[in-house]
Amino acid sequence: MRVIDSHVHFPENKIIDDGLSTGRGVEKGTGYTSGRTKSADAGGALKKHQSWLMDEKARWESAWHFPASEEVSPEEGERRWADECGAYDFLRGIVFVTAGSNQFASELVARHPGRFYAYAHHDPLLPNAAERLEKAVREQGLRGYKILGPRVDRPLSDRSFDPIWEVAQANEIPVLIHFGIMGAAGGVASHVNINPLAIHDAAKRFPDLPFIVPHFGTGYLFETLNLCWACPNVYIDTAGSNQWMRWVPYEVTLDSLFRKFHETIGASRIIFGTDSSWFPRGFTLDYLKAQNRAMSDVGYSEDEKDMVLYRNIAGLLKLE
């Protein structure tokens, strides 16, 4: 087995991801927020529901038996992630989809060539967002662009974003966009960019630009499948515990997800990720084991598993 974890967040604080994936870190000073949800940040607005919110958090912790998170410095986080890469001989690299800022991400990967890779992550509504992306790729050595859809208050297929897509397509980098419910219980569930179909028109206009929808669409399974049917340049990633499965009105399992996407888009457009972030958990081996078992159970060949776990993201990032 060889693995590249395509979806990791560099640890910047002690916020625990609940498997729905909020994303962490932004280009500093831009006002583009990530981390915990707006409603959770409101504090008092959810205070009366604190017991239920904590019960949901405890449910996730109990299911996976993860240790409590620690607050670590950037230097310590970097050292621990380097140690994680050395601890698993099958782990050939990790991709930080967020790492605080483009500058820090650039410095991080430069210190660990061939092990660490990273995406740009800045507000696409900035007037110079396309120029920032161009710099991130051409000068800073970043390999893609991460966007949190429900943090962008303009439809992502609006033509005002075309300069960004043009830069990404010209530089042959993927764009990963989180759609669907976001954050812990009490988070974001309604937004102009909550639905993966929000990128449909842009994906049609830029057919050579790979768009990655993480977490199997985070609750928008039908819409994600429709988007993949309409746009062959759309990929999905498998990252996280995918606890959103509890919040859809029909039975969904990890096995059924891997089976459905295999029979519709095939193994060549499925990308493995863990959504790992904090320590001492580090690389979430339990997620890898669960996903590997699901692929085996529904009939993926060893070659197809190698595509999902390694070759697909290696190809998109031009690592080979």
- Sole residue written with tokens 């991080």: 108
Contacts (Cβ under 8 Å, ≥6 apart) of 115: 82, 85, 93, 94
Residue 40 has pLDDT above 60, yes or no: no
Residue 42 has pLDDT above 70, yes or no: no
Q: What is the pLDDT of residues 153-166, one digit of tens each?
A: 999 999 999 999 99
Number of domains in the chain: 1
Banded pLDDT at 14 (limits 50, 70, 90)? very low
83: left (phi over 0), alpha (psi -120 to 50) or beta: alpha
Q: What is the mean pLDDT of the chain?
A: 89
Question: Given this model, what pLDDT does residue 32 score?
Answer: 54
Question: Given this model, what pLDDT does residue 43 score?
Answer: 52
The range of the structural domain enclosing residue 40 comes to 3-316
Residue 25 has pLDDT above 70, yes or no: no
Strand ranges in 156-311 using DSSP code E only, listed in sequence order: 175-178, 211-213, 234-237, 270-271
Banded pLDDT at 170 (limits 50, 70, 90)? very high
> What are the backbone dihedrals phi and psi of residue 218, each rounded to the nearest 5 degrees, phi first?
45, 55
Structural contact between residues 236 and 264, judged by C-beta atoms closer than 8 angstroms: no
Structural contact between residues 117 and 96, judged by C-beta atoms closer than 8 angstroms: yes
In this structure, what CATH number is given to the domain that contains residue 248?
A: 3.20.20.140
Q: What is the pLDDT of residues 217-227, one digit of tens each?
A: 999 999 999 99
Q: Return the percentage of the chain with pLDDT > 70, whole number.
A: 89
Structural contact between residues 192 and 208, judged by C-beta atoms closer than 8 angstroms: no
Question: Given this model, what pLDDT does residue 182 score?
Answer: 84
Count of helices and strands (H, E) across the chain: 12, 8
Residue 33 has pLDDT above 80, yes or no: no
CA distance linking residue 186 with residue 178, whole number of Å:
17
Q: Which pTM value belongs to this model?
A: 0.91
Question: Given this model, what pLDDT does residue 13 score?
Answer: 54
